[in-house]
Amino acid sequence: MMMLELYVFVLAAFTGYMVISRVPPLLHTPLMAATNAISGISLVGSLIAAGARHSNVATVLGFIAVVCATSNIVGGFLITDRMLKMFQRGKPKPADRVTGALDDA
Protein backbone atom coordinates (compact mmCIF):
# COMPACT_ATOMS: atom_id res chain seq x y z
CA MET A 1 0.00 0.00 0.00
CA MET A 2 1.73 3.09 1.25
CA MET A 3 4.50 1.27 3.07
CA LEU A 4 7.31 3.14 1.33
CA GLU A 5 5.73 6.49 2.11
CA LEU A 6 5.29 5.42 5.71
CA TYR A 7 8.96 4.50 5.93
CA VAL A 8 9.95 7.89 4.59
CA PHE A 9 7.60 9.65 6.97
CA VAL A 10 8.82 7.85 10.07
CA LEU A 11 12.49 8.28 9.23
CA ALA A 12 12.08 11.94 8.26
CA ALA A 13 10.12 12.69 11.43
CA PHE A 14 12.79 10.96 13.47
CA THR A 15 15.59 12.88 11.74
CA GLY A 16 13.68 16.11 12.16
CA TYR A 17 13.16 15.42 15.84
CA MET A 18 16.85 14.68 16.43
CA VAL A 19 18.05 17.71 14.48
CA ILE A 20 15.52 20.24 15.69
CA SER A 21 15.60 19.33 19.37
CA ARG A 22 19.17 20.66 19.35
CA VAL A 23 18.18 24.11 18.10
CA PRO A 24 18.71 26.53 21.02
CA PRO A 25 15.76 28.66 22.24
CA LEU A 26 17.76 31.64 20.98
CA LEU A 27 16.88 30.67 17.41
CA HIS A 28 13.34 29.39 17.90
CA THR A 29 11.73 32.25 15.97
CA PRO A 30 14.09 31.83 13.00
CA LEU A 31 13.39 28.09 13.25
CA MET A 32 9.67 28.72 12.85
CA ALA A 33 10.30 31.04 9.94
CA ALA A 34 12.61 28.47 8.36
CA THR A 35 10.26 25.50 8.70
CA ASN A 36 7.57 27.78 7.35
CA ALA A 37 9.66 28.53 4.28
CA ILE A 38 10.39 24.85 3.82
CA SER A 39 6.71 24.00 4.18
CA GLY A 40 6.29 26.09 1.04
CA ILE A 41 7.27 22.79 -0.58
CA SER A 42 3.54 22.22 -0.97
CA LEU A 43 4.26 24.29 -4.07
CA VAL A 44 5.34 20.97 -5.61
CA GLY A 45 1.82 19.61 -5.29
CA SER A 46 0.29 22.95 -6.27
CA LEU A 47 2.32 23.18 -9.48
CA ILE A 48 1.07 19.79 -10.61
CA ALA A 49 -2.53 20.69 -9.77
CA ALA A 50 -2.26 24.02 -11.59
CA GLY A 51 -0.50 22.71 -14.66
CA ALA A 52 -2.01 19.30 -15.30
CA ARG A 53 -5.12 20.68 -17.01
CA HIS A 54 -7.43 18.14 -15.40
CA SER A 55 -10.35 20.51 -15.07
CA ASN A 56 -10.92 24.22 -14.63
CA VAL A 57 -11.72 23.80 -10.95
CA ALA A 58 -8.49 21.92 -10.27
CA THR A 59 -6.50 24.49 -12.24
CA VAL A 60 -7.94 27.45 -10.33
CA LEU A 61 -7.49 25.76 -6.95
CA GLY A 62 -3.95 24.83 -7.96
CA PHE A 63 -3.29 28.39 -9.06
CA ILE A 64 -4.34 29.81 -5.67
CA ALA A 65 -2.21 27.16 -3.97
CA VAL A 66 0.77 28.16 -6.13
CA VAL A 67 0.33 31.79 -5.05
CA CYS A 68 0.15 30.83 -1.34
CA ALA A 69 3.09 28.45 -1.44
CA THR A 70 5.30 30.77 -3.48
CA SER A 71 4.65 33.69 -1.17
CA ASN A 72 5.65 31.45 1.74
CA ILE A 73 8.85 30.35 0.07
CA VAL A 74 9.93 33.84 -1.00
CA GLY A 75 8.81 35.55 2.19
CA GLY A 76 9.93 32.73 4.45
CA PHE A 77 13.50 32.45 3.23
CA LEU A 78 13.90 36.24 3.05
CA ILE A 79 12.70 36.80 6.58
CA THR A 80 14.75 33.93 7.98
CA ASP A 81 17.84 35.43 6.42
CA ARG A 82 16.92 38.88 7.69
CA MET A 83 16.56 37.57 11.23
CA LEU A 84 19.70 35.46 11.20
CA LYS A 85 21.66 38.44 9.94
CA MET A 86 20.75 40.24 13.18
CA PHE A 87 22.21 37.63 15.50
CA GLN A 88 25.73 38.88 16.13
CA ARG A 89 28.31 37.66 18.56
CA GLY A 90 29.39 40.21 21.14
CA LYS A 91 33.15 39.84 21.04
CA PRO A 92 34.37 43.44 21.09
CA LYS A 93 35.73 44.39 17.71
CA PRO A 94 38.81 46.63 17.79
CA ALA A 95 36.92 49.32 15.90
CA ASP A 96 34.21 49.45 18.61
CA ARG A 97 36.81 49.92 21.32
CA VAL A 98 38.25 52.95 19.58
CA THR A 99 34.92 54.72 19.12
CA GLY A 100 33.96 53.83 22.69
CA ALA A 101 37.12 55.45 24.00
CA LEU A 102 36.47 58.57 21.95
CA ASP A 103 32.94 58.86 23.28
CA ASP A 104 34.23 58.73 26.81
CA ALA A 105 36.70 61.49 26.17
Partner 1 sequence: MRELFIQVVYLAASVLFILGLRSLTRPDLARRGMQQAALGMVLAIAGTLVNHTIVDYRWIAAGLVIGAVIGYPMGQWVPMTAMPQRIALSLGFSALAATLVGVAEYYTEMHDGNVVATAKMAALGFEVLLGSITVAGTLVAAGKLQEVLPSKPITFPLQNLANALLFLVILVMFGWLIAHPAAQVLFYSLLGLAFVFGVLLVIPIGGADMPVVVALLNSYSGLAACATGFAIGNVILIVCGALDGASGFILSILMSKAMNRSFSNVLFGAFGSAPAAKGGKTSEGLTVRSISVEDAAIQLAYAQLVIVIPGYGMAVAQAQHAVREMAEQIEKRGGEVKYAIHPVAGRMPGHMNVLLAEANIPYDKLYDMDEINSEFERADIALVIGANDVVNPAARTDPTSPIYGMPILDADKARTIIVMKRSMGAGFAGIENELFYDAKTSMLFGDAKGSLTALVGEIKNV
Phi/psi zone of residue 87: left (φ > 0), alpha (ψ -120 to 50 degrees), beta?
beta
Q: Where are the beta strands (DSSP E) in 4-101?
A: none
For partner 1 (CB under 8 A), the number of binding residues is 86
- Based on the shown chain and the rule CB under 8 A, indicate whether residue 90 belongs to the binding site for partner 1: yes
Cα torsion angle, 23, 27, 33, 34, sign: negative
- Based on the shown chain and the rule CB under 8 A, indicate whether residue 19 belongs to the binding site for partner 1: yes
Q: How far is the CB of 98 from partner 1 (least distance, A)?
A: 14
- Based on the shown chain and the rule CB under 8 A, indicate whether residue 94 belongs to the binding site for partner 1: no
The correct pick among 97, 98, 100, 105 for binding partner 1 (CB under 8 A) is 100
- Based on the shown chain and the rule CB under 8 A, indicate whether residue 98 belongs to the binding site for partner 1: no
Contact 85, 27 (CB under 8 A): no
Segment 35 to 74, residues that bind partner 1, using CB under 8 A: 35-55, 57-74
Q: How far is the CB of 10 from partner 1 (least distance, A)?
A: 8
d(CA 4, CA 11): 11
